[in-house]
Structure 1
Amino acid sequence: MLGLSRATFRQRWPLFVGAALTVCIGVALVQSSLLVLISAATLPVPAGLAPAARAAFVEGSTTAVTLSALTLAFSAFLAVFIVSSTFAFTVAQRRPELALLRLVGAGRGAMRRLLVGEAVLLAIIGTAAGIPVGLAATRFQSGLLVGLGMVPDGFNGEWRSWILGVSAGVGIGVSLAGVLVAARRAGRVRPLEALRDTGDSARVMTATRWVAGLLFLAGGIALVILTPIGGAAGGQALGGNAALCLAVALSALSPLLVPVVARLIPVRGPVGELAVAALGDGVRRSAATAAPVIVLVGLVLAQATMLTSTTAAGAAEQRRATAGDLVLDATGPVGGDVTDLPGVAWASTEVVLPLTVSWGSGDDVEREDGQALVVDPAAYATAHPGREAVEALRGGRVAVAGPGAGAGSPGDTVGVLVGGSDLGPLPIVAGVPDAIGGGADLLLTADAVPAAELAAAPSRTVVALAPDADRDRVLAALAALGTVSTVPDWIAADTAARETTTVAVFTVIMGLGGLYALIGVVNAVVVGAAPRPAEFATARLSGLTRRQVLRAALLESAAVTTVGLLLGGLAAGGSFIAVLALTATMTGVATLAVPWALIGLLAGGLYLVTAVTSALATWSGTRRAPVSLLGATT
């Protein structure tokens, strides 16, 4: 048996190396994401910070925790999906030799023990390599968060010894999950059917595939339906998870589409005929190659479109909800100085302060950090149409719930700490509509906040000019108080800042995970080509040249990549529907901003990667003379 194992490894080494590689990278990503998440969550606030600096620190670390959690979830999903599918495909590729083992007397139990033993050995090798690779990934992710300003300089994911157990559990667990199902099915197939690839052995759409595909399809549709009621943050999460479920579903159902694409390939001469025949005979191989493409395309496009669409919807919402002609960025409540200027019809000053809200009592007190907006109720309602509920702010120490507030609803009372001043319990008397672009957590009146807190705080004043105003004179007077811009220019600058944040968020979430999925694509192509030298030799003995075999393989690769792109785009389409429903519900206007440049770059990159990998694998598989290749397999 040991000699057989050695011979199997020599012949099938790309299968084993590919399986160990996927385990290695999966373990590394999960380990690094978990260490960064815990380190960011336990990051202490430096002592002696001013209230504004403390609020900025807390906001940055909270964002880092949220992004690290999303990265961990994405990495864990990719590890389970890619590792388990790789091991399952590896077992499927070895069915003929497993059938021979059973014909010479090995029982199903012995065959399963052999496969499980190999899986555990490969998992141990992959995990051992993944732990040091994970340290490098931890430094990379930490540096990314530092570079984006979310955590302070010097931050790094702190090593914890128990992570070794987690890494081992991930590596061995996902490997066994992938091999056990495949081994069970391989044991049920009759040996002669496995040797001839007929009957149950030739059936790709198994009951497991149907159940998994339909179950995840139903889950994806349900998440799309629920997205509009999830609010700004919850809706984006639901829409992104919808794409994930749909990508898994379409990966499971992809063998149904491969024959359809095969019929669309123009058959011209022996090269086209060979490519079509390979697609028809290798549906399992094509589906395994297309699976990581589907996941990569679906998740990348869904996340990118969700972020760009909500940013665009927020900018449009801001334009509709902001009246006036000019915006003045200054320090402190300058509203009185602005309204006294000749040519100013009205002005609404909004002072931004760091905020801590608390609710509950005794041991059940909960706290949430955020931002407070100090406003003049009547002027704020004039400057922001649709926010007339703010006019209910009366009587000094009164608060109104703003977008994203988690402290309660009108009628509740919350404790409010603004800057360094404790304002005590304040009643929530009104609520303003949630905004897809976010906003302050609480709105307060100026007489509820100490003047010392307001004096040094940043402020924004929306200014409306009188019909007979001398615009240049007003601009000069406002410039003496701070930075002046037109409302459209101010919104454009704010949108550009949000887009920068969007790119940063996308980079953190999809960076290493997207690279892992791309490596999964390369690995699937290599593993799929590993058992094909005899097939290539037969084609060459039938009259084709080595270059013609290579062109057929490239045509087949392009067809499989097309299947992956189509199904991945379909999975992302579920998120497109979700974001249209979300933006329509929250802003009244359905918004979809598709990143076409990213789509083109992704499609071109995938065609290039699969073509180069397929060409190298095919060229390597045709190096030996056809007669010697066929002789070695008989």
Structure 2
Amino acid sequence: MLRISVGALRDRWQLFAGAVVAVALGVGLVQSALQVMAATDRPVLPAGLSGAERAHIRDGYAGVATLLGMAVMLAVFLTVFIVSTTFGFTVAQRRRELALLRLVGAQRGSLRLMLLGEALLLGLLGTAAGIPLGVLGTLAQSKLLVSLGMLPPWFRAPWDSGALSAAAVVGVSTALVGVFAAAWRASRISALEALAELPAGQQVMTGWRWFWGLSAVAVTILFVVVGQASRDLVAGLMIALLVMVSGSVALSQLSPIAVPLAGRLPALALRGSLVADLARANVLHAVRRSAATAAPLIVLVGLLLGLWGTFGSLAKAVGEEQRQLVTADLVVSGMVAPAADIAVASPQTSVPITVRHNRSTVYSEAIGIDPAAWQRTHKLLPRKGSLDRLTGATIAIGPGMSAEGYQLNSVLAATIDGRAVELKVVAILPETLDVGDNFFVPRALTPTGRTETLVKFADGADLTAAAHRLGGRTVADWAQSRGETQQRGNTAIFAVLMGLAGVYAAVAVVNAIVMAAVERRREFALARMAGLTKAQVVLVALVESLTVVLIGVLLGCIVAAAALAGVATGTASTYGVVVVAIPWRLLALILGGSLVVVGATAAGTAWVATKSPPISLLGGRE
């Protein structure tokens, strides 16, 4: 069987090229990610750095490790997805070949062994191609993370043999895991059924596909219902991440059903010409081909729009939360002198602080405040203690450190702006979405530093004139900027994941179109013998593929909308308004890029498939 497996890979390399590329990308990414993660786990920091600089670099290393861990999991998932799709499509195209093997005496176990042998060879080829990519990927990832500000400029990732071994194991194992379902399905082929080409032999929705698809639909509906019922923002954010995965799996598994159903909408517009009618018929009736092209787009759009929408909604919620917690009217840079139209001026001075707590050292910022003025311009109340006691050598634990185990009335050793002090904890504020405020101290302890003042005007004051006189920003603009600051950090993380998912989706879609073109040569020849020109045949394939792109993006948007439904309910319950970020620009980018990539691939493969005279293809079956 191994010799047959080698022959199948050699003779049908077009069918397996996309899977080899996917495995190579997966191996390269895993190898480079693990190599960078190993370097961040055992960092070598240069001499002369301050404690705060060392802490900042270590926090960046921890963030990089988390990001790359997510990237590795995503790469493994997408590699298995592409390999399984490839072999599923391959089994459908090789039914006659597999039936002949059954007819001459091959047992079901032998067919399974043959396909597993093909997967093993595919995994070895992908691993061999992926190792050099991993070397280049390590350099590329390091430079990217340095440019995003997550790693210091002097960062280097030395060679790690363990990363190479782990990547090789991932390459072979993902190929074998991805082929299991296709191998089992191939072993169930009946020789007479396939040779006669009965309708049952062309069944697309198998029992296992129904099982996994309907199970994922049930789980998705359950998550959406729970997200709506919880009416909690944090729960909605967590559930949104689960809905993205389960919803994408559900629609990709049920794509042979969902794509023709959704295809009836754009099909209404594809009328009025021969080319449009043929493209519409292909979309609705060539179920396997349409589903194989749409499934990667469903996963791509569902995951990317869902992730970006979740991150963006969180950032917008930070701004809305701050807008509702702050009762001032204006935020002014620097101190503000008393005036008749000013009811309260609450200055806040930020200085560096080092706090030693539970045998660890925290490097952060302390905000010096006047407790009375601060409480008149904020709605946030301590969950323990009182800010009225914030005088002398005292400290209040802010929202950013509220969950770190600080105890009321404990004494902390701290260094404020270079001065060592011992501070008594007199208040602990509740957690908020904005984790920027970590410690509050009396303003007497922060004589120097960066100061901004929250101004609340008296009743009846001319707010426009006062704001023009003082300058500064409205609280709404100030709160929005705090949310945008958090979103910039999310964008750096998301850019890496988006690029990774986009590359895999492109490989999967191009692979599906190229595989379909191999079996469409006879179809194209029949169309040309019926009177269509070569240009018309290419145009039919182009319109058909672009229609499938629109369907895949539409179904992916449904997944993303389901994921963001819980976020919308949670923000409405928490803040009284719906706070949801809809990534229109990202959607336009994905749609435009997909149309270009899929359109160019479909037109190119159709042009190549129609190069031979049609009579030469119709003279006998391939």
TM-score (norm 2): 0.86
* Shift in CA distance, 351/191, structure 1 to aligned 2, threshold 3 Å: farther
Which of 601, 612, 622 pairs up with 2:600?
A: 612
Aligned to 1:257: 258
Segments of 5+ residues of structure 2 without an aligned counterpart are none
Q: Distance in 2 between matches of 1:391 and 1:347?
A: 24
1:10-21 matches, cutoff 5 A: 11-21=11-21
Structure 1 counterpart of 2:252, one-letter code: S
Q: Deviations over 1:11-51 (max 9, x none)?
A: 52211222211111122223333333343344355554445
Matched, 1:295 2:299: yes
Amino acid corresponding to residue 566 of structure 1 in structure 2: L
Does 459-468 or 74-83 show the bigger shift? 459-468
* Structure 2 residue 23 is the aligned partner of structure 1 residue 23: yes
Q: Secondary structure at the match of 2:12?
A: helix
Match for residue 454 of structure 2?
462
1:573 alignment counterpart: 561
User: Which of 571, 583, 590 matches 1:595?
Assistant: 583
**How far does residue 179 in structure 1 lie from its aligned partner after superposition?**
1.3
Residue of 396, 413, 416 corresponding to 1:399: 396
CA pair 3-309 structure 1, distance change in 2 beyond 3 A: closer
- Structure 1 length-normalised TM: 0.85
Q: Does 1:385 align with 2:389?
A: no
| C-alpha distance 571-468 of structure 1, shift in aligned 2 (>3 A) | closer
CA distance in 2, matches of 1:42, 1:7: 46
User: What is the distance in 1 between the residues matched to 2:247 and 2:172?
Assistant: 27
Distance, in Å, in 1 between the alignment partners of 2:322 and 2:56 is 23
Distance 1:459 1:213, change over 3 A: farther
In structure 2, what is the equivalent of residue 319 of structure 1? 323
Q: Report the Cα offset of residue 197 of structure 1.
A: 4.0
Match of 1:399, SS state, is strand
* 1:79 alignment counterpart: 79
Give the 3-state SS of the residue equivalent to 2:153 in structure 1: coil
1:454-493 alignment, distance < 5 Å: 454-455=446-447, 457-464=449-456, 485=473, 487-488=475-476, 490-491=478-479, 493=481
Indicate the residue corresponding to 1:95 in structure 2. 95
Instruction: Determine whether 1:438 maps to 2:432.
Output: no
Structure 1 residues 315 and 359: alpha-carbon distance in aligned structure 2, compared to 1, 3 A threshold: same
Q: Name 1:164's counterpart in structure 2.
A: 164
Aligned-partner Cα distance in 2 for 1:627–1:473:
84
Check whether the contact 1:414–1:427 (CA below 8 A) recurs between aligned residues: yes
**By how many angstroms is 1:155 displaced?**
1.9
- CA deviation after TM superposition for structure 1 residue 247, in Å: 0.6
Note closer, same or farther for the CA distance 1:358–1:254 as it changes in structure 2 (3 Å cut): farther
| Structure 2 CA distance for aligned equivalents of residues 230 and 357 of structure 1 | 37
Counterpart contact for 2:116–2:179, Cα < 8 Å: yes
Cα distance, 1:591 vs. partner?
Answer: 0.9
The CA deviation string for residues 431-460 of structure 1, in whole angstroms up to 9 with x for no partner, is 33x33333323444457xxx4xx3454443
Per the alignment, residue 173 of structure 1 pairs with 173
Q: Which residue of 2 aligns with 1:57?
A: 57
Number of matched pairs? 614
Mapped partners of 2:331, 2:52: distance in 1:
22
Q: What letter is aligned with 1:402?
A: P
CA contact (8 A) 1:232 1:436 kept: no
Counterpart amino acid of residue 34 in structure 1:
L
SS state at 2:161 partner: coil
| Structure 1 position 126, deviation (Å) | 0.6
Find the aligned partners of 2:215 and 2:28 in 1 and give their Cα distance: 30
1:473-525 deviation digits (Å, cap 9, x = unpaired): 9999989xxxx555455445445544433433321331233222222222222
**Does the CA contact (< 8 Å) of 2:396 and 2:429 recur in 1?**
no
Deviation per CA, 1:550-578, whole angstroms, max 9, x where unpaired? 22212321232222112111111122212
The reply on whether 1:245 has 2:249 as its aligned counterpart is no
1:628 to 599, 603, 616: 616
Q: Residue 513 of structure 1 aligns with which residue?
A: 501
Q: Distance in 2 between matches of 1:535 and 1:521?
A: 20
Mapped to 2, the partners of 1:412 and 1:207 lie a distance apart of 63
| Residue of structure 1 in register with 2:552 after alignment | 564
CA–CA separation in structure 1 for the residues paired with 2:467 and 2:256: 66
- Aligned counterparts of 1:587 and 1:35: Cα–Cα separation in 2: 44
> How far has the Cα of 1:286 moved from its partner?
1.7
**Deviation per residue, 1:569-626 (Å, 9 max, x gap):** 1111122212213323443422122122322232122122211111111111111112
1:543: Cα distance to partner? 3.0
SS at match of 2:454: strand
> What is the rounded CA distance, in whole Å, between the counterparts of 2:201 and 2:353 in structure 1?
64
8 Å Cα contact 1:558/1:611 also seen in 2: yes
Report how far residue 306 of structure 1 moved.
1.7
Question: Where does residue 540 of structure 1 map in the other structure?
Answer: 528
State the partner residue of 2:310: 306
Contact 2:241 2:563 in 1 (8 A): yes
**Which residues of structure 1 form unaligned runs of 5+?**
none
